[in-house]
């Protein structure tokens, strides 16, 4: 265990190493580049490999390949790069490839403002690839969480055989704070499930009772098929309805059945609150300051911070907001997660606070927005 003073991007790199990541592929892009730069120096020291590729498409495909070679793998990018990675992310979903993609959000659309922040990619990271699927998305709000959530992202990815998105932003990326970095023996590190049957009995997509197939990798003596088409348990392409339904339902349910492993929230001053602010990532830091300012002036306000942005556990969010007269959703975009909260919260009025700031929104921005609707 080490107490250090580091940036959010460095914490992500350290968390990945602690989780056992030994292959990183990427292409430089602001504000994610220093993750790659840090790993270029540190990853070889633990026997790992960092490779810069010609673009983001090659990077994520290399990560898919490395994972099938048996190595925990990661890439990091920002909005424009994530757009290029979407097709291969879909490949990772249907082939059930464990990997972690870090998206350090910046202002968009297109190349936008590379050095400034945003939370505009919230829906893209969970809905970017076509088809039906569930992809876990985690959102840190501090340097410590950047480390901790990177470890958690790898553990979810390995245990559920799925890609996981760690959704940071430019503010968290370059925020410097004290953090505790724990070593592999001091944290839980999960590795993918391996087949226990002989190679002649192994089917690469036959799930256990938990809906997750044991994963043999290339070179381990098993027949391995990485099939992007709809496939049966052998990995063979089939276009009948039953095979399609069985595969898609399993891809979704293997994650939804373990939502308690994925979903996490944190509440502040919830119990007596008439007004609850829902927020996440860097904006939640300002939202907490806004809530404290409101309480100091006699307004019973509370904060519900989403640590997981997808999938959402409806019952938990509904219970937190059950007694609130009004629920405000503060996010640094035109209003995206607010549509989820509107769907979930039945008793109170849900109002959007679209802050659209190139830096972290100020607490005053949030306080003024709430007072306008009180």
Q: Could you tell me the two tokens for 198?
A: 């002989």
Total residue length of the chain: 374
Residues 6+ apart with CB under 8 A from 179: 3, 4, 5, 6, 11, 142, 143, 144, 146, 147
pLDDT number for residue 248: 98
C-alpha atoms less than 13 angstroms from C-alpha of 195 in its C-beta half-sphere? 21
The whole-number pLDDT of residue 39 equals 98
**What pLDDT does 191 receive?**
97
CB atoms within 10 A of CB 61: 18
* pLDDT value of residue 200: 96
pLDDT tens, 28-50? Answer: 999 999 999 999 999 999 999 99
Tokens describing residue 33: 């580049």
User: What percent of the chain has a predicted confidence (pLDDT) above 70?
Assistant: 100
The yes-or-no verdict on residue 64 having pLDDT over 80 is yes
Alpha helices in the chain (DSSP H): 8-18, 33-42, 56-68, 79-94, 122-127, 143-160, 170-173, 241-256, 259-262, 281-296, 314-320, 338-344, 363-373
Cα dihedral across residues 5, 183, 160, 131: positive or negative: positive
The predicted-structure confidence for 350-366, as pLDDT tens digits, reads as follows 999 999 999 889 999 99
Instruction: Please give the helix or strand (H or E) that residue 301 lies within, else none.
Output: strand 301-306
One DSSP character per residue, 221-277 reads SS------S-B-TTS-B---HHHHHHHHHHHHHHHHTTHHHH--EEEES-TT-SEEE
Say what the pLDDT of residue 325 is.
94
Say if strands 137-138 and 308-310 run parallel, antiparallel, or are unpaired: antiparallel
Please name the residues in contact with 125: beta carbons below 8 A apart, sequence gap of 6 or more.
82, 103, 135, 137, 165, 167, 309, 310
pLDDT at 348: 76
Name the pLDDT band for 373 (thresholds 50, 70, 90).
confident
Exposed/middle/buried for 248, CB within 10 Å: 0-12, 13-18, 19+? middle
Q: Say if residue 76's pLDDT is above 90.
A: yes
Phi, psi at residue 145, to the nearest 5°? -70, -30
- The answer to whether 107 touches 55, Cβ cutoff 8 Å, is no
Q: What is the pLDDT of residue 267?
A: 98
**Residue 360 pLDDT:** 87
Contact 304, 270 (CB under 8 A): yes
What is the CA 78 to chain-centroid distance, rounded? Answer: 13
The H or E element that residue 178 is part of is strand 176-181
pLDDT at 374: 81
Residue 318 has pLDDT above 90, yes or no: yes
**pLDDT of 346 above 90:** no
User: What's the pLDDT tens digit per position in 146-161?
Assistant: 999 999 999 999 999 9
pLDDT digits (tens, 9 = 90+) for 165-224: 999 999 999 999 999 999 888 999 999 999 999 999 999 999 999 999 999 999 999 999
Q: What is the pLDDT of residues 262-306, one digit of tens each?
A: 999 999 999 999 999 999 999 999 999 999 999 999 999 999 999
Q: How far apart are CA 373 and CA 66, in angstroms?
A: 51
């Amino acid at each position: 265990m080490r107490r250090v003073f580091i940036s959010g991007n460095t914490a992500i790199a350290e968390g990945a190493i602690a989780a056992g990541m030994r292959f990183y592929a990427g292409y430089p892009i602001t504000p994610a580049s220093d993750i790659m730069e840090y790993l270029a120096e540190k990853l070889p020291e633990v026997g790992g490999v960092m490779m810069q590729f010609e673009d983001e498409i090659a990077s994520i495909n290399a990560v898919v390949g490395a994972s099938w070679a048996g190595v925990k793998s990661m890439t990091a990018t920002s909005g424009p790069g994530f757009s290029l990675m979407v097709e291969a992310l879909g490949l990772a979903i249907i082939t059930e490839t464990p990997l972690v993609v870090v998206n350090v959000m910046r202002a968009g659309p297109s190349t936008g403002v590379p050095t400034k922040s945003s939370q505009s990619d919230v829906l893209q990271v969970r809905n970017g690839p076509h088809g039906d699927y569930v992809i876990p998305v985690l959102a840190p709000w501090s340097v410590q969480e950047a480390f901790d959530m990177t470890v958690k992202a790898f553990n979810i990815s390995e245990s559920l055989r799925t890609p996981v998105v760690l959704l940071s932003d430019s503010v968290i990326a370059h925020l410097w704070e004290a953090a505790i970095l724990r070593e592999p023996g001091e944290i839980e590190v999960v590795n993918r499930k391996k087949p226990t049957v002989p190679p002649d009995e192994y089917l690469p997509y036959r799930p256990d009772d938990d809906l997750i197939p044991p994963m043999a990798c290339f070179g381990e003596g098993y027949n391995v098929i990485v099939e992007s088409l709809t496939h049966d348990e052998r990995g063979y392409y089939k276009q009948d309805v039953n095979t399609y339904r069985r595969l898609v339902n399993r891809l979704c349910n293997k994650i939804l059945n373990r939502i308690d492993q994925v979903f996490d929230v944190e509440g502040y001053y919830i119990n007596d609150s008439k007004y609850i602010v829902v927020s996440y990532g860097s904006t939640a830091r300002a939202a907490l300051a806004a809530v404290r300012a409101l309480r100091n002036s006699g307004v019973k306000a509370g904060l519900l911070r989403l640590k997981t942005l997808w999938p959402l556990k409806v019952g938990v969010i509904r219970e937190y907001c059950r007694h609130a007269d009004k629920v405000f959703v503060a996010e640094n975009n035109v209003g995206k997660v607010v549509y989820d909260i509107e769907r979930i919260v039945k008793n109170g009025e849900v109002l959007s606070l679209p802050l659209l700031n190139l830096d972290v929104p100020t607490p005053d921005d949030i306080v003024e927005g709430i007072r306008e609707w009180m």
